[in-house]
Amino acid sequence: MTRDSVEFYKFLGLTQIQQLDFPENKFSLYFLAYNGPKSLQGDRHWTDRNAVLELTHNYGTENDPNYSVANGNTEPHRGFGHIAISVDNIESACKRIEDAGYPFQKKLTDGRMKHIAFAKDPDGYWVELIRRHNEDVGTTTDTANYRLNHSMLRVKCAETSLKFYQEVMGMTLLRTAENKDAGFNLYFLGYPAGNPKVQEDAKNPVAEWEGLLELTWNYGTEKQEGPVYHNGNAEPQGFGHICK
């Protein structure tokens, strides 16, 4: 990441809750999160939150005009997809981001899906914007109402990955979205503790949640030989990891 990314995410309402510097190894880690209603209760440690974004800055990259990261969405290095932030008023939120000069991969008016948008951070990573509620709330937007909803990863085999995240990592499968015409399924997993109840009657039953993992399975990838997706840690680097 570039240092501009920290300011971008602060602009989206996240608070920097920790910074770890490793000058001998020439990198720093920045941890950001939303201060939701349960985030600051008591003397909870900063890691005891439903969702935290970790940004890694390697010293000197901000002065390298040729430096770039693999955002996970371009061939042949697809893998990581995006993070998603749920907002109170998506039209106002998008306008605020656009007015600040940040680019979009997909605006609300683009394509068939008029209910989501994808902004791009200063490093080119995609940030999906979704509604927290069935409809927009109010006529303006307040970042105090935003939530870090999920991170999306593409997976080769849905069955194998679901078994890993459920049985090994202890996550709960909360929502499945089948898109047979487009040839892919989405699986949303999370930890119920500290999150609200699933709103079964909502358009997006888990839009109020934080810290979800979205797995995207494209039909047929499970039949391909060898690795299908780039993990972000081999060159060219980009996405690093998720953390339990």
Model confidence pLDDT, tens digit, residues 149-201: 999 999 999 999 999 999 999 999 999 999 999 999 999 999 998 899 999 88
- Alpha carbon of 194 to those of 36, 51, 102: distances in Å? 11, 11, 32
Write down the pLDDT at residue 223: 97
Of 128, 208, 210, 214, catalytic: 128
In order, the DSSP letters of 108-129 are: TTSSS-TT-EEEE-TTS-EEEE
Query: How confident is the prediction for the chain on average, in pLDDT?
Result: 94
**19, 239, 208: which is closest to 130 by C-alpha?**
208
- Segment 221-229 shows an average pLDDT of 97
Write down the pLDDT at residue 9: 98
- Tokens for 179, please give them: 């898109």
Q: Is the pLDDT of residue 39 over 70?
A: no
Q: How far apart are CA 82 and CA 215, in angstroms?
A: 11
Phi, psi of 144 (to 5 degrees): -65, -15
46 vs 6: which has the higher pLDDT:
6
Question: What does pTM read for this prediction?
Answer: 0.95
- Segment 1-5 shows an average pLDDT of 78
128 counts as catalytic:
yes
Residue 37's pLDDT band, with cuts at 50, 70 and 90, is: low
Write down the pLDDT at residue 222: 97
Model confidence pLDDT, tens digit, residues 101-144: 999 999 999 998 999 999 999 999 999 999 999 999 999 999 99
**Count of C-beta atoms within a 10 Å radius of residue 212:** 25
